[in-house]
């Protein structure tokens, strides 16, 4: 439930950003071509999507590496301390 509320808050923030920047426009140049009067929110949104697309290969690379090493998720701090100190049977 908290995750759903978090997504709704992020969506509201994004929507507020879009509404506040509807009138702001910019030119985007790729060196040989220039796009004029592009809304700022659209350029930031496209940059964000391209960043996520660039991150996808990294996620798959590190995901496969973790599976090969035999780790199954995160180890809790209590388990880590127990491995270091040993379980002495004291509660």
pLDDT in tens, 40-74: 888 888 888 888 888 888 878 776 655 444 555 56
Report the pLDDT value the prediction gives residue 91, as an integer from 0 to 100.
55
Report the pLDDT value the prediction gives residue 69, as an integer from 0 to 100.
47
Report the pLDDT value the prediction gives residue 64, as an integer from 0 to 100.
63
- Across the chain, mean pLDDT equals 77
* 16 vs 20: CA distance, rounded Å: 6
* 41 vs 26: CA distance, rounded Å: 10
Residue 17 CB contacts under 8 Å (≥ 6 apart), including other chains: 41, 44
CA-wise closest residue to 21 among 41, 7, 36, 35? 41
Report the pLDDT value the prediction gives residue 86, as an integer from 0 to 100.
57
pTM for the model: 0.50
């Amino acid at each position: 439930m908290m995750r759903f509320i978090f997504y709704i808050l992020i969506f509201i923030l994004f929507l507020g950003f879009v509404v506040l920047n509807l009138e702001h426009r910019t030119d985007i140049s790729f060196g040989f071509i220039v796009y004029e009067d592009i809304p700022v929110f659209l350029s930031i949104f496209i940059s964000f999507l391209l960043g996520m697309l660039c991150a996808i290969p990294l996620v798959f690379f590190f995901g496969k590496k973790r599976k090969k090493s035999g780790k199954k998720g995160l180890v809790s701090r209590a388990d880590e301390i127990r491995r270091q100190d040993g379980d002495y049977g004291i509660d």
